[in-house]
Amino acid sequence: MAELGKKYCVYCLAEVSSLRFRCTECADIELCPDCFSAGAEIGPHRRWHGYQLVDGGRFTLWGAEAEGGWSSREEQLLLDAIEQFGFGNWEDMAAHVGASRTPQEVMEHYVSMYIHGNLGKACIPDTIPNRVTDHTCPSGGPLSPSLTTPLPPLDISVAEQQQLGYMPLRDDYEIEYDQDAETLISGLSVNYDDDDVEIELKRAHVDMYVRKLKERQRRKNIARDYNLVPAFLGKDKKDKEKTPKRKITKEEKELRLKLRPLYQFMSCKEFEDFFENMHKERILRAKIRELQRYRRNGITKMEESAEYEAARHKREKRKENKNIASSKRGKEDGKEGEFAAIENLPGFELLSDREKVLCSSLNLSPARYVTVKTIIIKDHLQKRQGIPSKSRLPSYLDKVLKKRILNFLTESGWISRDAS
């Protein structure tokens, strides 16, 4: 006689208290899992009859050796929780399974049994067929998915955030570009009795607002890309002192101005890389031209180029010295030709080179210049000694000539500036 409270299989008489299959069409027909899977038939029961799973909730799906001893009822609650809360919400899933399971235990059991276990290996193939291949650039290029990811907040102090009106959690500012842009859509509403003209007008307002938002975001990206915020706060100077860069020549600055229209199509780093590659290209072209020049002069080894460069430097030095000597000779000849109008006049040999130039420019004879110079210096000395004197300059000396001569004598140190 069967013990009270225990259930037995009607086919093999095995105990099925924890788990059994009950036929929904035949009375008192309960089979163990082994007999049910083998298709056992007894009396009026047939294998195609409907069935009902009767679970006591105490058996384990993965066997007694499975870690944690999860019962079938907990497994069912776990699968319900993963469907309801989604993968990753382990705290909510642990609360749904029961107080006896922690979020860490729930995560480890699901990952080990349903993903990396036999069930996961059977359900998740190693190679997924018809999978879409990502052809975009993974390193921040024009089609990179990283362009849609939000940028990290600015690394600035709280005082600097207050100075800028910057809100780091939102990556936003208190005062944005075109602050009143929202007024375009703040009063819009869609009514059932709007005609086509009103609908198109409201769409135009929305389009204008979207354009303003894009422009606002574009300016933020430019400020972030070109480090305008650290430059405003004075931090970029410290960074420049830490990392000195190559000095940019005048030609490169002019080239940057010509390439300025490309700024809107390239990021700051892309443009700097592009410019550095152009600089490397110019260096390589210059090196190639130098090697071609060596080859034209019969040099086939780099060891011979040093001797050739030294000889070429000497030749250029001698040529430069010859040009300097010839230029000096030409200047002396030019000076002699310049003084041709006054060199034969009396008193020419008494003049210095500067006085000769002055007399030649003023078209003044040397004798007259010496006379005027003597009178001016004599009056200057008498005034310094406190002797009253009345200067009597020649009549041929007008105000312009007098002023030119006084300035010349003052610059030469013959008289002081007070006297002039």
Residue 1 has pLDDT above 50, yes or no: no
**CB of 340 within 8 A of CB of 359?**
no
Q: What does the DSSP 8-state code read for residue 69?
A: -
**CB of 177 within 8 A of CB of 219?**
yes
Residue 13 has pLDDT above 70, yes or no: yes
Ordered alpha helix ranges (H), 152-235: 158-164, 183-186, 196-225, 228-233
CA distance 208 to 222: 21
End-to-end CA distance of the chain: 147
* Percentage of the chain modeled with pLDDT above 70: 81
pLDDT band at 284 (very low <50, low <70, confident <90, very high): very high
In tens, the pLDDT along 348-375 reads 777 777 888 888 777 778 888 888 888 8
φ and ψ of 417, to 5 deg? -70, -30
Q: Which of 71-75, 180-184, 368-372, 412-416 has the highest mean pLDDT?
A: 180-184
Name the pTM for this structure: 0.33
Residue indicated by tokens 């009106």: 165
**CB of 187 within 8 A of CB of 209?**
no
Quick one: pLDDT at residue 2? 45
Q: Which domains does the chain have, with CATH numbers?
A: 1-56 (3.30.60), 72-123 (1.10.10.60), 246-324 (no CATH), 348-412 (1.10.10)
Residue 260 has pLDDT above 90, yes or no: no
3-state secondary structure 362-409: HCCCHHHHHHHHHHHHHHHHHHHHCCCCCCCCCCCCCHHHHHHHHHHH
Q: Closest by alpha carbon to 374, among 354, 395, 391?
A: 391
**CB of 370 within 8 A of CB of 348?**
no
Which of 28-32, 43-47, 88-92, 135-139 has the least mean pLDDT? 135-139
Quick one: pLDDT at residue 237? 55
Residue indicated by tokens 């069967």: 2
pLDDT band at 419 (very low <50, low <70, confident <90, very high): low
CA distance 113 to 313: 81
CA distance 112 to 117: 6
CA distance 181 to 212: 7
pLDDT band at 136 (very low <50, low <70, confident <90, very high): low
CA distance 159 to 168: 12
Residue 88 has pLDDT above 80, yes or no: yes
- What's the alpha-carbon Rg for the chain, to the nearest Å? 51
Strand pairing partners for 316? none
What integer is the mean pLDDT of 396-412? 79
Q: Which of 59-73, 179-193, 272-286, 293-307 has the highest mean pLDDT?
A: 272-286
In tens, the pLDDT along 218-250 reads 888 888 887 788 888 876 655 555 555 667 788
**CB of 11 within 8 A of CB of 31?**
yes
Quick one: pLDDT at residue 238? 57
Helix axes 399-412, 366-385, angle to 10 degrees: 70
